[in-house]
Amino acid sequence: MKRVLTALVLIPLVLLAVFRAPDWLFTLLVGVVAVLATIEYLQIAAKYGYKVYPVVTVGVIALMFISYSLVRFDLFEIVVVVLVVTALFVPSLMLALGMRADNLRDALPGAALSYFAIPYVGLSMLCLAWLRAMVAGWFFVLFTFFAVWVGDTAAYYVGRSVGKTKFAARVSPKKTWEGAIASILGAMIVGVVFALYAPTLHVSWLAPVWSTRWWIPAVIALVINVAAQLGDLFESLIKRGADVKDSGTMLPGHGGILDRIDALLFAAPVALVMFMIWGERFSKTT
């Protein structure tokens, strides 16, 4: 019951943000989610026995979203500086902090675990904000959400009812090939239906293309869903290695924030690349 009630509260809020929030506010909301998920990740990472650096890691991710918001004001130089600092100097800073460790053998693993949160959570969630900022971005974000949500629901019910063949028993014992296939099929069906019947779709280049080539959204939904399932497995791997069941308790019945967005962390970058590729290819023909 807690799981259902939490979903009934969260889903309308997410849809409201996708449809109505201006880009800067949507980016801010995604940034808050990314920061909370990063904190949960670092709590899990610390259970591996190495010292992590939450202040630096969270600060860099917050700065990434702030700098992205400034793109709206054409301050491109700030974004470049942030990316350069992140890529070149943050790892060095974390290693420098590791010099204070009692055991210097812990310095490199601790820095690596901390830095990994930046691409894993920060850049992945930034892709979602970028996706929303594109023309008809609300459609791309919802398409991605539906490919993840419907796939996850199909996998859950099919896996529980008829799933027998395990495919990742060591990482996630409850996952089955039957559930995984149902997830892909569910995502493909909802992707095609949404692409063909989404309201006001005529404002974008998608309408004349997808109305006659329904296989395009099917393929995109398939790729996004496969990425989402890998993202789910990846977080399970991290938690199992740390002997943790849930990333947190912030969402009753769902665990933590990271538990809810784990699939999206892989799906959002893939969706961004897919839609940019198809958009560049077909916008020239419409």
Taking residues 8-37, what's their average pLDDT?
86
Please, which residues bridge with residue 255 across strands? 251
**Sole residue written with tokens 């799981």:** 3
Dihedral of the CA atoms 43, 45, 47, 48 (nearest 10)?
-170
Could you tell me what percentage of the chain is helix, strand and coil, using 3-state DSSP and rounding each to the nearest 5?
Answer: 80, 0, 20
Regarding pTM above 0.85, the answer is yes
In 3D space, the residue among 22, 61, 70 whose CA is nearest the CA of residue 39 turns out to be 61
pLDDT band at 231 (very low <50, low <70, confident <90, very high): very high
Cα–Cα distance between 191 and 193 in angstroms, integer? Answer: 6
- Return the exposure string of 88-110: e unless at least 16 CB atoms fall within 10 Å of the residue's CB, then b: eebbebbbebbeeeeeeeebebb
Please, which residues bridge with residue 251 across strands? 255
Mean pLDDT (the chain) is 83
**Sole residue written with tokens 């350069």:** 84
- Return the exposure string of 64-81: e unless at least 16 CB atoms fall within 10 Å of the residue's CB, then b: bbebbbbbeeeeeebeee
The tokens of 120 are what? 């894993």
The pair phi, psi for residue 255, each rounded to 5°, is 90, -135
pLDDT band at 55 (very low <50, low <70, confident <90, very high): very high
Q: CB under 8 Å to 285, separation ≥6 — which residues?
A: 209
CA torsion through residues 273, 274, 277, 283, sign: negative
- Best-predicted range by mean pLDDT (207-211, 212-216, 228-232, 252-256): 228-232
Q: Is the pLDDT of residue 255 over 80?
A: no
The percent of residues in the chain predicted with pLDDT above 90, rounded, is 38
37 vs 98, higher pLDDT? 37
CB 261 within 8 A of CB 234: no
pLDDT band at 285 (very low <50, low <70, confident <90, very high): very low
- The per-residue pLDDT for range 260-269, each reduced to its tens digit, is 899 999 999 9
Q: Which amino acid makes up residue 188?
A: M
- The per-residue pLDDT for range 167-187, each reduced to its tens digit, is 878 888 888 999 999 999 999
Task: State residue 284's pLDDT score.
Answer: 42
Of 31-40, 130-139, 173-182, the least confident: 130-139
